[in-house]
Structure formats: structure tokens, C-alpha cells
Amino acid sequence: MLDRAALSALLSDLIRARSPDPPGDEAEICAVLADRLRGLGFAPEVEEFAPRRFNLLVRLKGAGARAGLVFSAHMDTLPAGDPAGWRRDPFSGEDDGARLHGRGACDMKSGLAALISALTALRDSPPPGDVTLAVTGGESANLIGARRLVETGALAGHGAILVGEPTSLDLVTATTSALWLRAEARGTVGHGSDGANAAGGAGGPAVNAIVALARALDGLETALPDATHPLLGGATLNIGRIEGGSAINLMPDRCAADLDLRLPPGVTAKAAEAALAARLGPGIRLTRLDWKPAQETAPDAPLARACLAAASRARGAAAVPRGARYFTDACILAPAFGLETATLGPGRLGGSGEADESVVLADVATAARIYAETARAWSP
């Protein structure tokens, strides 16, 4: 297990290696990560699966008494945004004595550092089965690194996956699905002086696509399926991006908005699409951009049970199952390889993407102990 100084140094190095997605580029952080792992005595396997997009694996042999366990993490982060909105340099990796600061400190470079620390402890006392650290690129957007691991069959023979995403050291047993859609309105070109700011308004035949889409999107969240989940609540909708028009004095003939729906387990993409399409009406085209399925594990499943026990001992208080409204690599890897899933990490649940992102360093060390104990105790 890494001591405090080594853990702080590792996490600081990872934060200083910028890896925001977009634009999506893991070259620097993957090089730093591979170098630090070699310095710890591991032999990382690195693949550049697309230009400047990387996956990294470390395989630790166990005693062969059970199926392998995947330690799952990703290298990319959300963008930092305007540095003026931060009290510190977003990429300083500063350790203030209690917390370590910077983009990725919470989501999820702290979880990655903790998994590496656990791996060093497991190397000195091999677990019952193999443990593979699987670190992906491109998780934050379209899980492209995880999809590549499926293509190559890199995790065949494993039985479970432990994800280090932020959970406040509680066990997440349920996550929402993410359905990404594009809503598009079409209009007709006309001079901007021709009409009112209305679709089919007083200015004649020209139709303002921006206004048409804005009107269609107003109140769209009321069309979401009304299913709820005890740990996750109901469905949500975020309009994350909108574009339309080419000149201020020209009536826009196209406008598109990208929608991010988070749906509880049991709500299908098809059902949500049908509900929104009915509300938008025939004048709006709805296209699916991506679908990341929900995940749910019973709290008494073997990996979840081992995680809860280890977390309760490490924290000195009972850990409880929780839900998280995010997706992880497990939503691609678990169904592809038949893996039992659990998610637990040192970052604060709900802290992803915030300005002034940070993590309590003691929680990173606690997570490492939980991971190592879980890897030794889990039995399918």
C-alpha cells in the first residue's frame, strides 16, 4: 500500500497531466501513468486505439482459486471551464495538508490512485484470483475505451468489476441509464427583416427553426416516463447543447438541440423516445446519439457484500447502498463479459465537474484499503 506521501505525489502527477474530454486526449496522462506504474514494478499494457486515445491494463496474477476481478478507472476528465471560476489553478494538484485539489481529484483520478495503491498491496500478498487494472480513455463522453476492451476481449475470464468512481465511500449498487438524443427543427430561409420571431409568423412563408425548436422544447420534461427507483428517483432531462442559424440577419432554416436523459432501471430507451416524440410533434426530428444502459446489483450479491463489509470496517461505520445518476464503464463491460458490478470511490458523490474540485486524501487511502480487502474477500 502506498504511504501518504507517495499517494499524494501520484495523485498530484495525475491531476497535472491534463486530460479533459472534450477535446479528448489521454497521451500525456497515459505516459505519466505508465511511467509511475513501471516505477512501482508493474508492466502496463498500453494501446493507442485511436489517435491520442489510450487504454492501459495491468494484470496481477492471483492464486487461481476464482475468476478474475477488474479494477475499473478512466483517465479522462470533464473540462475545467474558465480558470477564473476556480480559487486555485485547476491543474495544480496542490496538497493543502488535508485535501488534494484540481480537475479530476474527485472524478476520478483519486479512485485511480487508490486502485493502484491497492494493487501494490495485493502484489505483496496475492489474492485468490487475478486482478486486472483496466484504465480507459474516453469514458466521459461515449465510453470509447470500454467499447474497445469489448472488441479485443481483453477482460475475458473475469467475474466481477469494481469501479472507482466517486461515491463518498458508500457502495453504489444502482445507476441510471443515459439516453442522448438530438431534436432537430427545420425552417425556411428568409431575410431577417421579413418576419416576427415566430415560426410561421407575420413575416410571410419563412419559418424560424430556432423559434420552432424553442417552443417544442418548452416543458418537454413533463413528457418523461414517470417511473421511479428507491435509490435514484425518477427520470431527468438536460438540454446540454443547442445550435442554429448562420447569420444575425438571416432566418435560420435549421436548429438542433442535444438532450441528456437519465432514466432509472426498467425504463427503456424506446419508451422514452416515444414519449418525447409524441410531445415534440411531427415537425421535430428526434435522433438517438447514444444509449448507456442502467446498472443494478443486489446489495447481497457476493461483490457488493464484500464491498459493504470492507467499507464498514475501514470507515468504522456501516456503509449503505446508494444510487448514482451517472454512467460508468461497467455499463458496457459488465454485460459484455458477464461481470458482477460494484462502484465505490473516494470522491464526493455529486462533486463531478464542479469548480474547485478536490478530494480528502485520507479518503483516498481508505478507498485503497477497501479495494484490497474486497479483492481478497470476494468469492463468486
C-alpha cell at 199: 415560426
pLDDT value, residue 195? 64
Do strands 233-234 and 254-263 pair parallel, antiparallel, or not at all (unpaired)? unpaired
Q: What is the pLDDT of residues 133-189, one digit of tens each?
A: 999 999 987 899 999 999 999 999 999 999 999 999 999 999 999 999 999 999 988
Q: At residue 197, does pLDDT exceed 80? A: no
pLDDT at 193 over 90: no
Taking residues 23-28, report their average pLDDT: 97
pLDDT in tens, 224-242: 999 999 999 999 999 999 9
What is the residue type of 145? G
Give residue 198's pLDDT band: very low, low, confident or very high (50, 70, 90): very low
Residue 222 has pLDDT above 50, yes or no: yes
The string of pLDDT tens digits covering residues 55-104 is 999 999 999 999 999 999 999 999 999 999 999 999 999 999 999 999 99
| pLDDT of amino acid 189 | 84
Instruction: Provide the b/e sequence for 278-316 (b: ≥16 CB within 10 Å).
Output: ebbeeebeeeeeebbbbbbbeeebbbbbbbbbbbeebee
Proportion of the chain above pLDDT 70, given as a percent:
97
Q: What is the arithmetic mean of pLDDT over 357-373?
A: 98
pLDDT of residue 188: 87
Q: Are strands 158-163 and 284-292 parallel, antiparallel or unpaired?
A: unpaired
Predicted confidence (pLDDT) at residue 22 exceeds the cutoff of 80 = yes
Q: Any residues with CB less than 8 A from the CB of 213 and at least 6 apart, and which?
A: 183, 184, 185, 242, 244, 255, 256, 257, 284
258-288: pLDDT as tens digits:
999 999 999 999 999 999 999 999 999 999 9
Query: What pLDDT score was predicted for residue 205?
Result: 63
Residue 71 corresponds to which amino acid? F
Evaluate if residue 203 carries a pLDDT over 80: no
pLDDT the model gives residue 263: 98
Residue 210: pLDDT over 70: yes
Give pLDDT tens digits for 278-330.
999 999 999 999 999 999 999 999 999 999 999 999 999 999 999 999 999 99
User: What domains does the chain contain, in order, with CATH numbers?
Assistant: 4-175+294-377 (3.40.630.10), 177-292 (3.30.70.360)
Q: How far apart are CA 106 and CA 96, in angstroms?
A: 15
Distance between CA atoms of residues 80 and 95, nearest Å: 18
The whole-number pLDDT of residue 206 equals 74
